[in-house]
Amino acid sequence: MLYIFDLGNVIVDIDFNRVLGAWSDLTRIPLASLKKSFHMGRRFISMSVGKLATKRSQRRCVMRWLYR
């Protein structure tokens, strides 16, 4: 089975409102709370267009987002 994971909306047009809505339903965290903590900062955008080349940079970006 082949999986394509695309955060940059290059191949798949991701509706982040639907994604956050699903997360809200599954976690019972209010949607407004999730929307406040989720933002596309400089590192997220750099990662999505392939400008972060090292694993360390990618890991740091994800960890910063997860532990906000």
User: For the chain, which domains are there?
Assistant: 16-66 (1.10.150.240)
Query: Is the pTM higher than 0.75?
Result: no
> Tens digit of pLDDT for each residue in 7-63?
655 666 678 889 899 989 999 999 999 888 877 778 777 766 777 666 776 677 677
Examine the residue annotation and report whether 13 is marked as an active-site residue of this protein: no
CA atoms within 13 A on the CB side of 6: 11
> Tens digit of pLDDT for each residue in 17-31?
898 999 899 999 999
Q: Are 48 and 61 contacting, i.e. CB atoms less than 8 angstroms apart?
A: no
Q: Which of 6, 13, 15, 25 is catalytic?
A: 6
CA atoms within 13 A on the CB side of 45: 4
Instruction: Identify the helix (H) or strand (E) that includes residue 63.
Output: helix 55-66
